[in-house]
């Protein structure tokens, strides 16, 4: 059954000019011209507060690179949605058929069944990450889903966002002209169930913040893991606090926490990596 309203894609990025070109060709161009989809681009720097329009800050606990701050990302999403998303005390979820997708190398793998699920939505807001990583509170409390497009690291989330938009658009009724085209191609088999995640391991405390150090030999050194969670200022954002261990200044504890947190996130988002 055809969608009655255009599907809306919102792209939150610090490089709005990146999308000049990819949106103007092929199936995506035709889908936009016929009103099948709408694409809106939002410059993240609009929601910064300092004169330098800074969107990033140094990571708590030390380390290389910079981390995108939570403030502008939350405010950008709220401006696009037209309502607040609450705080730790009173969280507010987006509409049922709206997804907020964080593009991140530490996310769940994007697959064709994910694209089919997204094609049933009314709206997707894409948060295009950059730098060393994205604030973990963005992944946990703003994004409804954290997605990666493969086992490699890119400079940012803009290109992955375009890949997802293309994959989803071509599944919309009317996008290809011949509906059978998307039903008889690679990855087209309907699975018995959609995306699933294993039961979360519990290396965190009751607040989901502090992780006990791994015991020697509990994880092979050569095993692939996702990146550990990143946090930056403010230390207390809407009641969601940075784990105490990252602020304490004990580098050994920080190292233990990061490895355990990376293992937990891998078990949650990419358990297949632990079987290789």
d(CA 112, CA 109): 10
How confident is the model at residue 199, as a pLDDT? 32
- Residue that wins the pLDDT comparison between 108 and 218: 108
pLDDT at 183: 55
143-190 pLDDT tens trace: 999 999 999 999 999 999 999 999 999 999 999 875 555 554 545 543
Nearest Cα neighbor of 89 from 237, 242, 247 is 237
8 A C-beta contact, residue 50 and residue 56: no
Mean pLDDT, rounded, for 113-134: 91
- Beta-carbon contacts of 164 under 8 Å, excluding residues fewer than 6 positions away, are 101, 103, 110, 115, 118, 124, 126, 147, 149
- Within a 13 Å sphere around the CA of 183, how many CA atoms are in the beta-carbon half? 6
The pLDDT of 239-257, averaged and rounded, is 97
More confident residue, 55 or 179: 55
For residue 276, what are its two tokens? 């290789």
Average pLDDT taken over every residue of the chain = 85
In sequence order, the 6+-apart residues with CB closer than 8 A to the CB of 98 are 81, 121, 122, 123, 124, 125, 144
Residue 3, pLDDT score: 53
The residues facing 13 across adjacent strands are: 43
9: tokens are 């894609």
Query: From the CA atom positions of the chain, what is the Rg in Å?
Result: 19
The answer to whether 212 and 201 have CB atoms below 8 angstroms apart is no
User: Whole-angstrom Cα distance, residue 41 to residue 46?
Assistant: 12
Predicted confidence (pLDDT) per residue in 28-50, tens digit: 999 999 999 999 999 999 999 88
SS3 assignment for 200-266: CCCCECCCCCCECCCCCCCCCCCCCCCCCCECCCCCEECCEECCHHHHCCCHHHHHHHHHHHHHHHH
């Amino acid at each position: 059954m055809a969608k009655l309203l255009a599907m809306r894609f919102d792209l939150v990025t610090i490089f709005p000019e990146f999308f000049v070109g990819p949106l103007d060709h092929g199936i995506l161009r035709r889908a936009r011209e016929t009103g099948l989809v709408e694409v809106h681009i939002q410059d993240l720097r609009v929601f910064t507060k300092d004169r330098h329009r800074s969107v990033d800050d140094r990571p708590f606990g030390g380390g290389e690179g910079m981390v995108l701050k939570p403030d502008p990302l939350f405010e950008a999403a709220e401006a696009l949605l037209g309502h607040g998303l609450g705080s730790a005390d009173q969280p507010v979820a987006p509409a049922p058929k709206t997804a907020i997708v964080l593009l991140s190398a530490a996310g769940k793998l994007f697959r064709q069944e994910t694209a089919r699920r997204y094609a049933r939505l009314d709206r997707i807001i894409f948060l295009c990450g950059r730098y060393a990583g994205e604030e973990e509170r963005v992944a946990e409390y703003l994004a409804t889903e954290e997605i990666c497009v493969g086992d490699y690291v890119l400079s940012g989330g803009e290109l992955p966002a375009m890949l997802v938009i293309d994959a989803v658009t071509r599944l919309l009724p009317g996008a290809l002209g011949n509906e059978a085209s998307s039903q008889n191609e690679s990855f087209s088999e309907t699975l018995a169930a959609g995306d699933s995640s294993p039961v979360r391991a519990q290396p965190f405390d009751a607040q989901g913040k502090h992780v006990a150090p791994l015991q020697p030999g509990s994880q092979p050194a050569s095993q692939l893991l996702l990146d550990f969670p990143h946090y930056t200022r403010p230390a207390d954002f809407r009641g969601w606090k940075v784990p105490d261990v990252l602020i304490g200044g004990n580098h050994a504890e920080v190292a233990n926490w990061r490895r355990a947190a990376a293992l937990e996130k891998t078990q949650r988002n990419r358990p297949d990596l632990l079987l290789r």
